[in-house]
Copies of this chain bind each other. A is one copy, B any other.
Amino acid sequence: MTEIAILGYGTVGSGVYEVLKTNRDSIDKNANDEIRIKYVLDLRDFPGDSVQEVIVHDFDVILNDDDIKVIAEVMGGVEPAYTFVKSALLRGKSVVTSNKELVAKHGAELLSIAKEKNINFLFEASVGGGIPIIRPLNQSLTADEIYEITGILNGTTNYMLTKMTKDGLDYDEILKDAQDKGYAERNPAADVEGFDTCRKIAILVSLAVGKQVDFEDIYTEGITNIGKDDIEYVKKIGKSIKLLATSKIDGGKVWARVSPVIIGEENPLSMVNDVFNAILVKGNVIGDVMFYGKGAGKLPTASAVVADIVDAVKHLGRNIMTSWSTEKQNIIDIDNVEVSKFIRVEYNDKEKAVFAVKKIFGVSKIIELDSISSEFAFISNADVEKAINEQIDDLLNSEAVLNIPNTIRVENYSNPT
């Protein structure tokens, strides 16, 4: 028998508790051991709930109990999670976590403590909810040199973009709908501004390159500037907008970016709709491989946490995770990364504005919508972002151009000039 503790009885914590009870027989069989929940740490009491028997309010009870071999941290946030997890690892207890802030910020240090102590710090649930991605990156794709990881890593924003595309609603209406459905928080910033996605791609890239990628270094843009007109344009050209976390790895050179991107049908991520997440990994041997599933929610996340508990129990006293070093990985400024942009142009003289686009960008193909007057859009050729932005400034200086209502990055577009 192995005794474990769960830190936090919120959405994920109660899911973990429930799954360990419901699937007890098959889980014990997979772990080749009996897993017993001895403590659940929460500030609250839950009278009338079976969990009350194991509720404790003081982390030290868990820390000082030598029978506890594995701890599941599912509180979220950097503190006090970091203090709790670090002290638990230092005491020789394996820790599994769903906490992306914690892993993105302190992953390298916590992994190194686990390695030193010959125990485990596992975090499958921190990226992609239930989707197996950390373990495949760590154990399955070991023959490959990974050169790209691109993901739809946030279910809330993917739901919103899908719904905007289907229903033609505008951003504010969709946000309200997502909040009413419980998919978006009352304060939606972490999702819609891309912060959540940013932490997740930082974790994946750190794992792929073996060095610490600071999430603060990753250019991050959310979906708050995407409106129904943008969606209309993109539908017209048979493409879709996704909030993508993208990273490319070329030897020691690494860049990463979170932003809305226009992608075509040929990209398998274009098929990922609603609250689903997916991670597309490209390796120099395997080619493209994609992992798809529910990226959030009580049970999918609990599935990954419990799978990590099983792995931790199976590997007591044996470190199984590849760690990444605390050495900082430099990230190339996206100014120097090549990109195409979809650019909307509001004009007072169409002919002159089209001429200006042709002159500055070398592009003559424009896209127009019946629903918007005095405006067209076009897609630039690929160039480094800095150069494209300078061209946009030039365009804004043309007399015929009144405004650039929006620009959105475009993947892999070879422009027919």
What residues make up the interface of A, taking CB atoms closer than 8 Å to B?
19, 22-23, 26-27, 30-31, 124, 130-132, 135-136, 139-145, 268, 271, 276, 283-294, 299-300, 302-307, 309-311, 322
Q: Are A284 and B23 in contact (CB under 8 A)?
A: yes
Q: Are B294 and A144 in contact (CB under 8 A)?
A: no
Q: A139-B135, A271-B271, A292-B268 are in contact. Are A287 and B299 (CB under 8 A)?
A: yes
Q: Are A132 and B141 in contact (CB under 8 A)?
A: yes
Q: A145-B23, A268-B292, A290-B292 are in contact. Are A285 and B139 (CB under 8 A)?
A: no
Q: Are B271 and A300 in contact (CB under 8 A)?
A: no
C-alpha spacing A139/B135, complex, angstroms: 8
Partner of A285, one of B130, B131, B142: B130
Q: Are B289 and A293 in contact (CB under 8 A)?
A: yes
Q: Are B322 and A300 in contact (CB under 8 A)?
A: no
Q: Are A142 and B306 in contact (CB under 8 A)?
A: yes
C-alpha spacing A141/B299, complex, angstroms: 13
C-alpha spacing A232/B130, complex, angstroms: 38
C-alpha spacing A306/B124, complex, angstroms: 23
Q: A271-B271, A285-B23, A302-B285 are in contact. Are A307 and B142 (CB under 8 A)?
A: yes
C-alpha spacing A300/B285, complex, angstroms: 6
Q: Are B303 and A143 in contact (CB under 8 A)?
A: yes
C-alpha spacing A289/B132, complex, angstroms: 9
Q: A136-B132, A322-B30 are in contact. Are A141 and B288 (CB under 8 A)?
A: no
Q: How far is the CB of A311 from chain B (nearest CB, A)?
A: 7
Q: A286-B294, A287-B300 are in contact. Are A19 and B132 (CB under 8 A)?
A: no
C-alpha spacing A140/B305, complex, angstroms: 10
C-alpha spacing A276/B132, complex, angstroms: 19
Q: A135-B135, A289-B292 given. 17 additional CB < 8 A pairs?
A: A23-B143, A23-B144, A27-B143, A124-B140, A132-B289, A136-B140, A139-B307, A139-B311, A141-B303, A143-B303, A268-B271, A286-B294, A286-B300, A287-B293, A289-B294, A290-B293, A291-B292
**Chain B positions within 8 Å of A288 at CB level:** 293-294
From A23, which residue of chain B is reached at the shortest CB distance? B145
C-alpha spacing A306/B145, complex, angstroms: 12
Q: How far is the CB of A131 from chain B (nearest CB, A)?
A: 6
Q: Are B26 and A145 in contact (CB under 8 A)?
A: yes
Q: How far is the CB of A360 from chain B (nearest CB, A)?
A: 38
Q: Are A142 and B31 in contact (CB under 8 A)?
A: yes
**Chain B positions within 8 Å of A291 at CB level:** 289-292
C-alpha spacing A19/B286, complex, angstroms: 10
**Chain B positions within 8 Å of A306 at CB level:** 142-143, 285
**Chain B positions within 8 Å of A132 at CB level:** 132, 136, 140-141, 289
Q: Which 10 A-B residue pairings sit nearest by Cβ, starting from the closest?
A: A143-B306, A132-B140, A289-B293, A271-B271, A286-B303, A30-B142, A290-B292, A130-B286, A285-B303, A142-B310
Partner of A302, one of B143, B303, B309: B143
From A318, which residue of chain B is reached at the shortest CB distance? B318
**Chain B positions within 8 Å of A307 at CB level:** 139-143
Q: Are A140 and B144 in contact (CB under 8 A)?
A: no
